[in-house]
Amino acid sequence: MSKVIKFNKESDLPPLVMSLGTTLVNKTGSWRYLRPVYQDKTAPCIEACPASEDIQQYMYLVAKGEFDKAWETLVAENPFPAVCGRVCYHPCELSCNRGEFDQPLAINAVERFIGDHGLERSLEPFKIAADRKEKVAIVGSGPAGLTCAYNLRRLGFKVVVLEKNEKPGGVLQFGIPEYRLPKDILAKEISRLEDFGIEIKTGVEIGKDVSWAALLKYDAVFLALGVHRSRAMDVPGEELDGVISGLEFLSQIARGEKVALGQNVAVIGGGNTAMDAVRTALRLGSKAKIYYRRTRAEMPAIRDEIEEAEREGIEMEFLVTPVRISGENGRVKEMTLQKMELGAPDESGRRRPVPVAGSEYTVTIDNVITAIGEMGDFNFIPEDMLEWGTVKTNHFGQTNIEHVFAGGDIIEQPHTVVHAIGSGKRTAMAIQAYLDHVDPETLVDKISVGFKGGFSFERFNDGQTGDPVDNHQVVHYEQINKNYFTEKPRNEADEQEISAGITTFREVKTTFDAQTVIGEALRCFNCGVCNMCDNCVIFCPDVAIKRREDDYRYEIDYDYCKGCGICVVECPRNALSLIPEGK
């Protein structure tokens, strides 16, 4: 071991400035007033994901070719990777730091690959807690209901899902068209959940087959009915034959029913239902056209859907609204539209369309499909539970009846699949907390991911890596050390040829192959999380950093770390922090 060597005469000294023993005797760590620590932080994509998927972690695993583990990471937060990999509007990509560097990561396409990989390999989720005696009823088998059921099951609860329709899946089954979400993919993801021990009873309607009172006898109830009624346009002639609600149209097609459309089909609206309806009508052989009261920029539909519709030759007419539908023999024949212009912004921040006087014109039409918004059908839900057409809940989905929770499209939140999944997960955690007499608010600090409302089930469940994590620090672009990255174009999934007059319901986009998905995952900055790049080890001038004995992550020898901070600066991804010593 090291000791101080005393040189008594010049010939004792080595011929050059060199230690004879080690310099371990000199504990340079005593000079330190700042301490570098490994501290995982939150990547902005994860914060942006309403389902709080640990995106950077599965990118890390995919980059190493560990697809099974990537799938496990994904389903730890979201039981529908193959579904979301197809239909999610992927706000993660908008937040991706790589977007400021060159192009955002193709997160959605990677998710799809992993989801499909899980289906191909028949991977199964694992339970994380022993069986519990409490039984929870879930009303509705859409993404919110099934996600809640899944997470409750993982926590050991008995779960029964009551579904009004003949098949489970809700909007996934009866709303989203086949060309975006093939039914066999959905069926596989749902049957995996059934295999996991979730009981789904279809054809069960509350208030008819099961009474509200009987429902309330469960230890907890989760209402996730979804919204299935298209909002009425309130224009004369809406009752005519040939005027169809968009949701009804889509569900008829999903059920394989024949829907007779004429040649000219007008679809009213600019949201996803409108896009789904117009593209479906196109595939049925009609000349379908969008009429929307604002401009393209204000359309609430997913951008990809709008672009694909345009490439399929769908015409869109903006700044118009129907004022009258007229018919012949009870059947629609013409539609009169009024031109609009954009006025002052409304409460949604979008500029409000206002009519232009004297601008009415009439088009000849065979069908009108209405898709200007959806409403819930709350016939069995007590009046005092409702507010502004939604079920009133606290932050955790709890209603005014303490063991009744609600989520998905019936509460006040954006109507997207991934928000539904997020609410199902959040509520599962809240239900356990309720049954354990724990105030869920006390969990918020531990389980929240960033500041956009997402909660991590892994953190709820303590399933952490064992490294200190600051889930409240989101890594932004400025905190990335760009010197370590080179520009690399984003990979795009192949598309089947999109053209006007398309008639196939085959999926538009393909799934990445393994090589492409790894290439794409390698583009990930892994913001805020150590990916074992060794930069800290290479740069530490005191050789005070080394890989841990289990070869996972690093340890700092604070006896010799001088606190220079070079490791922190040279970490490409801000996975280290410098904190004042003694605090």
Partner 1 sequence: MKKVLMGNHAVSYGARLARVEVIAAYPITPQTQIVEELSELCANGELDAKFIKVESEHSAMASCMGSSAAGARAFTATSSQGLALMHELLHFASGSRLPIVLANVNRAMGPGWNIWTEQTDSLAQRDTGWLQFYCENNQEVLDTVIQSFKIAEQLALPVMMVLDAFILSHTYEIVDVPERELIDKFLPPYMPEFKMDVDDPHAFGALVTPDNYYEIRYKMQKSMEKAPQIVTQTGVEYGEIVGRSYDVLETYFCDDAELVLVAAGTLVSNSRAVVQEYRSKGIKLGLLKIRMFRPFPTEQVRKILLHIPKIAVIDRNISFGASGIFFQELKAALYGRDGVSEARIFGFIIGLGGRDVRLQDIAEIVDYALEEEKPKEDIIWMGLKR
- Cβ(247)–Cβ(175) under 8 Å? yes
Q: How far is the CB of 566 from partner 1 (least distance, A)?
A: 17
Q: Is 329 left (phi over 0), alpha (psi -120 to 50) or beta?
A: left
Residue number with CB closer to partner 1 (6 or 583): 6
- Output the CA torsion 81→84→90→95 (10° steps): -20
Q: How far is the CB of 31 from partner 1 (least distance, A)?
A: 12
Q: How far is the CB of 15 from partner 1 (least distance, A)?
A: 6
- Cβ(440)–Cβ(396) under 8 Å? yes
- Rule CB under 8 A: which residues touch partner 1? 7, 9-10, 13-20, 22-23
Residue number with CB closer to partner 1 (15 or 582): 15
Positive or negative torsion for Cα 413, 414, 415, 417:
negative
Q: What is the DSSP letter of 501?
A: T
E strand or H helix that includes residue 40: strand 40-42
Q: Find, among 75, 72, 218, the residue nearest to 135 by Cα.
A: 218
How are beta strands 135-139 and 220-223 bridged, if at all? parallel
What count of other Cβ atoms lies within 10 Å of the Cβ of residue 426?
29
Query: Cα dist. 571→487, 534, 555 in Å?
Result: 18, 9, 14
Residue number with CB closer to partner 1 (9 or 437): 9
CA distance 17 to 24: 16
- Three-class SS of residue 379? coil
Q: How far is the CB of 542 from partner 1 (least distance, A)?
A: 11
E strand or H helix that includes residue 448: strand 448-449
Q: How far is the CB of 12 from partner 1 (least distance, A)?
A: 9
Residue number with CB closer to partner 1 (7 or 451): 7
Residue number with CB closer to partner 1 (21 or 382): 21
Q: How far is the CB of 35 from partner 1 (least distance, A)?
A: 23
- Cβ(363)–Cβ(266) under 8 Å? yes
Q: How far is the CB of 93 from partner 1 (least distance, A)?
A: 37
Residue number with CB closer to partner 1 (13 or 401): 13
- Cβ(334)–Cβ(274) under 8 Å? no
Residue number with CB closer to partner 1 (23 or 515): 23
Residue number with CB closer to partner 1 (15 or 349): 15
Q: How far is the CB of 538 from partner 1 (least distance, A)?
A: 14
Q: How far is the CB of 32 from partner 1 (least distance, A)?
A: 17
Residue number with CB closer to partner 1 (1 or 20): 20
Positive or negative torsion for Cα 520, 415, 297, 249:
positive
